[in-house]
Amino acid sequence: MNKTKLAAFTVLMTATAMLIVSAGWTQSKGKGPVIANAYAQDKGQYGTIWKIYLEAEAEEAEMAKIAVVVDQPGQGQYPTDFTLLKAPYRNRLKGYLQWNTFSSKGPVVKEGDQITVRVSLIDKAGNESKEVAFPLPLFQGLRGRGRCLPLQSGRRSKTGSYRH
């Protein structure tokens, strides 16, 4: 009798587990944060500070962090760098990230190399915004400045820094 009960219990638990897996036990994710505006200079001088301006908002869950990925020719993709957002910026963000384009720990960038920086936001529920990408050709002796289109007027604050 005990073997019969154990077998029935095992079959019931297996069927329950299969039902849960096929139905998707985890809740479906909602909408992720939305990057409303994003811009950066279209070229830069190696060794200077480059800023990426972001304007974003969260519709369902508070934003938790900014994810930045850098791709460099001949080096590949660097590990994702996360910037945690402070409480005032979790529902609506209008600010910038800055990057010092020189690193004594990283490889030297060749004249005209195009670095690509990809940025997205992740909310507390794990939803991720659509990614925005910024190609940045770097030059040793850049004359003038790259083009940089402003966000709508208003105060912007430094949101974070990233290093690669």
Q: What CATH number corresponds to the domain at position 51?
A: 2.60.40.10
**Domain total of the chain:** 1
pLDDT at 21: 42
What pLDDT, on a 0 to 100 scale, did the predictor assign at position 15?
A: 47
pLDDT interval class at 97 (50, 70, 90): very high
Please report whether residue 46 resides in a domain.
yes
Kindly state whether residue 56 falls inside one of the protein's structural domains. Answer: yes
What is the structure's pLDDT at 157? Answer: 56
Q: How confident is the model at residue 57 (pLDDT cuts 50, 70, 90)?
A: very high
pTM: 0.67
- Which of 4-13, 98-107, 133-142 comes out lowest in average pLDDT? 4-13
| Domain extent for 157 | 34-161
Q: Is residue 51 one of the residues assigned to a domain?
A: yes
Q: Which two tokens stand for residue 152?
A: 């709508």
128 falls within a domain:
yes
What pairs with residue 97 in β-bridges?
A: 52, 160
Predicted confidence at residue 66, as pLDDT, reads 96
With respect to residue 95, please indicate whether it lies within any of the assigned structural domains: yes
Q: Bridge-partner residues for 68, per DSSP?
A: 81, 119
87 in a domain, yes or no?
A: yes
